[in-house]
Structure 1
Amino acid sequence: MTSEKTDRRVRKTRKLLIEGLTQLLKEKSINEISVRELSDLVDINRGTFYLHYKDIFDMLTQIENDLFKELDTLFSSHSVKELKSSPLPICKDIFRFAQTNSELFQIFLGPNGDSAFVNRTKELVRQHCYHNWQMIFSPCDTSRFAYFYSFIISGWIGLLSDWLDTGMQESIDEMAHIAEQIVFSGIDFIKCEKA
């Protein structure tokens, strides 16, 4: 068997498993899902599952790691100079990424979700954006900037979650403009008051 056929088969099996896990996570928490249940749902034997993952938690971790690699690449593709002129391109990219991975994001941010996923998302954004935003917005009071930043990141996650939960009725462009306006509306909070 050629490597290409093997790779295709591996991708197909993993895709089936991810779709099955996604379906189950819509109904129950990760702690309530067994390998047997997932394998039966996607019609593969458990041995095939174990060729790819150690257990359900390993599978979830690998899915999250893949998402975070893509998010890391997304944030790295935008320079400080670009963000200073307009955060709109990165806003669009974030909403596009969330739309592409909407089912997983809805699950991770939903009632059966993973609080570690939210915290890891905040940390990834902090690594990429905190210093850059300080340079862009030049706050006089760094403690106020820390509050502003925390508020904006939590707001972003809430905005994404609501957009996904309501069926993504607004376009990516509309949501990116809304996010940009919310960020810029809060800028006055961290600016120095003039005497």
Structure 2
Amino acid sequence: MAKELTESRRTRYTRKAMQDALIDLMRERPLGSITIKALCEQADVNRSTFYAHYDSIEELLHDIEDETMAWVTTALDQLLMQPDAAGVEHVIEHICRYIADNRNHLQVLMSPTADLDFQQQLLGLIYSRRSVAEQMQPASSDPAEAQMRMRFAVSGSIGLLQYWLATDLAAPPETVAHIIFTMGMPGAR
């Protein structure tokens, strides 16, 4: 967790610069080989500024991951409040636009070389929401089958998003959202 500092515009700017620098460096090399010196040079901050905000590079990465998880939690809550399929597809489009807008961070966070714990946390968050299963899959007399269908739909959606990020967003967000919607919610076409 990032150190508690007054949340001024300058603090937000400095943290964002360090986050962006870490993501840029993670594109080139594994987290374990990134030094604080290299991060500070990339972010154009001095070491004391880094240590005023974070204790370690791992803490900085966890800050990035926590911000992403908080956004995903809010998006899931919005998804679960939708009364109809049109609303669900709209929220999925919103999620895809967020991914497009934050592609630099998410391309690294969702890549095979990233922290797999983050990706597992993401899946765990989605799977822990029983309502997601109920909303994504039609009522089934067999709860085990409904759970398997939901896991397939979520894992497939995550895989599609990873592919989309790996191709540098070759398709527009609306197209990806529509594919997730139609594949994840049978009968909602």
TM-score bracket, normalised by the shorter chain, equals 0.7 to 0.9
Percent identity between matched residues is 26
Cα distance per residue 1:98-151 (max 9 Å; x no partner) = 1122111111121321111111111121233x3343266211111112221221
Unaligned 5+ runs, structure 1: 188-195
* SS of equivalent residue, structure 2 residue 185: helix
Please tell me whether the aligned partners of residues 148 and 186 of structure 1 are also in contact (alpha carbons under 8 angstroms). Answer: no
Please tell me whether the aligned partners of residues 30 and 112 of structure 1 are also in contact (alpha carbons under 8 angstroms). Answer: no
**Displacement, 1:83?**
4.7
Structure 2 length normalisation: TM-score? 0.86
The equivalent residue for 1:95 is 96
Please tell me whether the aligned partners of residues 127 and 151 of structure 2 are also in contact (alpha carbons under 8 angstroms). Answer: no
Please tell me whether the aligned partners of residues 20 and 105 of structure 2 are also in contact (alpha carbons under 8 angstroms). Answer: no
Confirm whether residue 145 of structure 1 aligns to residue 146 of structure 2: yes
Q: 1:48 to 1:81 in 2, by over 3 A?
A: closer
The equivalent residue for 1:178 is 179
**Displacement, 1:8?**
1.8
Q: Which stretch shows the higher mean deviation, 177-186 or 145-154? A: 177-186
Please tell me whether the aligned partners of residues 28 and 112 of structure 1 are also in contact (alpha carbons under 8 angstroms). Answer: no
The equivalent residue for 2:134 is 134
Kindly tell me the number of residue pairs found equivalent between the two proteins: 182
Structure 1 length normalisation: TM-score? 0.84
The structure with the larger Rg is: 1
- The within-5 A match list for 1:78-93 is 78-83=79-84, 87-93=88-94
Q: 1:116 to 1:141 in 2, by over 3 A?
A: same
Unaligned 5+ runs, structure 2: 1-5
Cα distance per residue 1:41-67 (max 9 Å; x no partner) = 222211110011110011111111111
The equivalent residue for 1:42 is 43
* SS of equivalent residue, structure 2 residue 107: helix
* SS of equivalent residue, structure 2 residue 28: coil
**Displacement, 1:182?**
1.1
Q: Which amino acid aligns with 1:119?
A: Q
Please tell me whether the aligned partners of residues 20 and 42 of structure 1 are also in contact (alpha carbons under 8 angstroms). Answer: yes
**Displacement, 1:184?**
3.2
Q: Which amino acid aligns with 1:148?
A: R
| Residues in 2 aligned to 1:28 and 1:81: alpha-carbon distance in whole angstroms | 41
